[in-house]
Amino acid sequence: MASNKHNQFLEGSRAISLTVANIQPDVISAYPITPQTHIVEDLAKFQADGQASYEYLRAESEFAAASIVLGASAAGGRVYSATSSQGLLLMMEVLYNAAGLRLPLVMTIANRAVGAPINIWNDHSDAMAMRDAGWIMLFAENHQEAVDWHVIAYKLAESLNIPVAINVDGFIITHSHENVIIPDKKTIKKYLPAYQPKLGTYLNSQQAITLGGFFTPEHYWQEKRQADADLKKSVNTITKAYRHWKKLLPSPIALKPRFDNGLVEYCGPSQPKTLIIAMGSMSGTIKEALRDQNQVGLLKIRSFRPFPGRDIARFAQHCQQLVIMEKATSSGAYGPLYSDVMAHVPQFKGVSSNHIVGLGGHDISVKIIHNIIKSSRQAGLRFW
C-alpha cells in the first residue's frame, strides 16, 4: 500500500482507507452510504487490485454488513466496517450484540444527520443513536486524529474485547483534503501485532465454546454491570494506548494543548472563566475563534464512551460559564452531551448553556461561536 511516514495531502476518506489497509484486517464488510462511500470504495478497490489480502464482502444491507463482521470476529478474525446515518440505525441490533458478546469490532462512522427530513450532511445524530450500545466511541477533529484513532481502536478493541466506533464528521473530514501522515505497515505492526485471540475465547472446533448464551434475570444484570465496569475502566487503557501511539507517530500540531490524555484535550488559559465543551471537527474552528479570547478555553471530548467525567469535572468545576456545543438533539430534553456533562459536575455553581449547532451540515462559523460565547451568561438550550 502506498504509504510512508511523511506528510501527504489526502482526502480524509483516503487517509482512513489507507490506514485501515495497513492495519491488515482479515474481513471487511460494508454497504455503501453517503458520506462513508469513498472509504469503502477505496478498500474494495485495494483488494480488487491485489494490493490488499483481506476478504471484502459487499453486503446486501448494513444489517448484513454488521452481522458479517460480527460473525467473522466471533470466528477469530480482525474485522472492519464503516457506515453513516440510517445505515448505522439499520445496524443497531447487531451493535448491541457485538458489545454484549465482547467482540472486538472496529467501525468508522462518517457522521451524518438522520432523516426525516432526509439530509446527507453532517451532524452527530447517528452516533448518539448508538450511545448506549456498549461500544467505545471516539471522535476525531481532523484527518490525523482519524488516522491515529483507527490504529488505536484495534489496540483497544483487541486488548479489552470491547468494540470501537471512530466518529469522523461526514464531508467535513471525509471529503476534505489536508496534510496527514499515514503510518506504514511496519510502524503499525510495532504497535499492533497480528491478531491471534486465545483458543477458547472464539469459535473454533478444537476448543468449542458457546457465544451468546441465554441469561436469566439473576445473571443478566450482573453481565451488564460487568460491561459497564469494563467500559469505565477502559479510560486508563485509552490514555496509555494513545500516548504510546503518538510516540511512534508524532505529527505536527497547530496549537499545543495545555492538557491531553487521549480522552480529553484542553486548549486555553489556565483558569478560564468560560469553558466550551465540544466534540469532533468543530473543535478546530472553536480553537480558531478563541485566538482572540483570553478568558475562554476549549475542552475537546475525544472519547465520548467511556465518558471522561472525572476529567471534565476537574476542568469545569471552577468556571463561571459552561458552554456545551453539540451536533445532536434529544428532542424534549437537553442535548446528550450536555446531559452527560452536567451529571458529572454536581458542584458547579455557574451558568451552563447548551448550544445545538451544525445540524444537517449547517456551517459552524467563527461568528456563530463568538455569538455563543457572548450569550453564555444566559442558561438554557439554544439552536444556532
- Contacts with other proteins by CB under 8 A lie at 7, 9, 35, 120-121, 142, 171-172, 175-179, 252-255, 281-282, 284-285, 287-289, 361, 363-367
Distance of closest approach, residue 284 Cβ to other proteins, in angstroms: 4
Distance of closest approach, residue 39 Cβ to other proteins, in angstroms: 16
Give 47's strand partners. none
CB 362, CB 329: distance < 8 Å = no
Nearest in space to 300 (alpha carbons), one of 171, 156, 142, 130: 142
Distance of closest approach, residue 181 Cβ to other proteins, in angstroms: 12
CB 366, CB 285: distance < 8 Å = yes
Give 298's strand partners. 267, 276
Q: How far apart are CA 51 and CA 66, in angstroms?
A: 24
Distance of closest approach, residue 361 Cβ to other proteins, in angstroms: 7
Distance of closest approach, residue 379 Cβ to other proteins, in angstroms: 26
Question: How many other CB atoms sit within 10 Å of the CB of residue 101?
Answer: 16
Q: Is residue 356 within a helix (H) or strand (E), and if so which, with residue range?
A: strand 351-356
Q: Which is nearer to other proteins, 58 or 175 (CB)?
A: 175
Q: How far apart are CA 280 and CA 297, in angstroms?
A: 16
Amino acid at 141: E
Q: How far apart are CA 357 and CA 170, in angstroms?
A: 15
Distance of closest approach, residue 190 Cβ to other proteins, in angstroms: 25
CB 335, CB 354: distance < 8 Å = yes
Distance of closest approach, residue 246 Cβ to other proteins, in angstroms: 15
CB 107, CB 166: distance < 8 Å = yes
**The three grid cell numbers given for residue 275, joined into one nine-digit string:** 469553558
Q: Which is nearer to other proteins, 113 or 130 (CB)?
A: 113
Distance of closest approach, residue 113 Cβ to other proteins, in angstroms: 12
> CB-based contacts of 42: which residues, under 8 Å, 6+ apart?
13, 14, 17, 18
CB 59, CB 68: distance < 8 Å = yes
